A and B are shown apart, each in its own frame.
Chain A
């Protein structure tokens, strides 16, 4: 039987909370994975003494760096809260009605963390 190739889904099939939660979780995880080696390198500069680390921290005073830090905190918090939601589904329980609320709660908690950090920066 001859067949033609399968059609793929488009954004209409993905317009629901669970898919967005996945997208955020994957993007935040990837971004953190890329960031971490840099983070470790910067901290490792302390080996050469406070001056090197201080130089970097002074560079980090620039507004765009500060904004990125808030972004990083948001990425970490959202990956954590989303991850806890997944651990709940995989190890504890599944209640269909809870799913949208859990996703909303995870997002809310992450935003709160980022806000606290941003407020403390000022």
Chain B
């Protein structure tokens, strides 16, 4: 049985200055990176702080930076990323760090709200059900982007998030795009204005890091490109100020 050399970022509240600490973890077959982190916290250093919940790739809570790339640790096999027996685990980039591998996700969700990423109803319970044609172009556009679970990997992978602190980010913009295409929604004009500001969709430079890393295989790049087009024509038509 061989051993993994695991470098884990430690630091933040009560944990001292940021630095990497090295642990030796026994290698197991079909081991995931989350298994490795769990082993360290339970068997070696109980002070290690990290987040997880479902551990089966549904909730997105366990997202961390593994060997420089943002990933769901519960769905990342050690075999796939640590060929040479070395693993580097750090908190998600571009989020303030609370402690060790735990980041402050508030700005991520605040930007979701700033992009008007919530549904605004136009009907009441007394109205008949809304008829949404599944094969329509609008609904297909929604379906292609709706599976986002808000894990923050795209936000962490996007360089524009680091270069432009106010940038709404791929997840918030992707969600806004699904709502722009939702025929039941009543806030189109406000939402288009919200995503078109100084730090909105036009700040995206099509790096495609978000699309490259999204564990749900979504393409925020495509959603943002569509928002650029939609807001431009809306501006021409006088829909946004």
Contact = CB atoms under 8 A, between A and B. Distances in A.
Say whether A and B bind each other: yes
Interface of A: 1-14, 16-19, 21-22, 26, 86, 89-91, 94, 96, 99
B18 A4 contact: yes
A22 B229 contact: no
Interface stretch (B21-29, B31-39, B44-52, B95-103): B95-103
B140 interface: no
A90 B225 contact: yes
Contact of A86 (B9, B206, B209, B219): B206
Contacts, number: 101
Contacts of B213: 13
A27 B207 CA distance: 14
B13 interface: yes
Contact of A18 (B96, B162, B207, B229): B207
18 contacts: A2-B13, A3-B12, A3-B96, A6-B162, A7-B91, A8-B162, A9-B157, A12-B68, A12-B69, A13-B157, A16-B212, A18-B208, A22-B205, A22-B207, A86-B206, A94-B219, A94-B221, A99-B208
B191 interface: no
Contacts of B98: 1-3
A19 B208 contact: yes
B206 A22 contact: yes
A8 B207 contact: no
Contacts of A86: 206
A9 B205 contact: no
Given A9-B159, A12-B69, A4 B97 contact: yes
A63 to B, nearest CB: 36
Contacts of A22: 205-208
Contacts of A26: 205
B206 A13 contact: no
B97 A13 contact: no
Given A3-B96, A4-B97, A89 B211 contact: no
B105 to A, nearest CB: 11
B69 A18 contact: no
Nearest to B96: A3
Nearest to A96: B219
Nearest to B95: A6
Nearest to A22: B207
B69 A8 contact: no
A5 B225 contact: no
A3 B208 contact: no
Contacts of A18: 206-209, 211-212, 221
Interface string B67-84: 111100000000000000
A18 B212 CA distance: 9
A107 B83 CA distance: 32
A94 B11 CA distance: 41
A96 B67 CA distance: 25
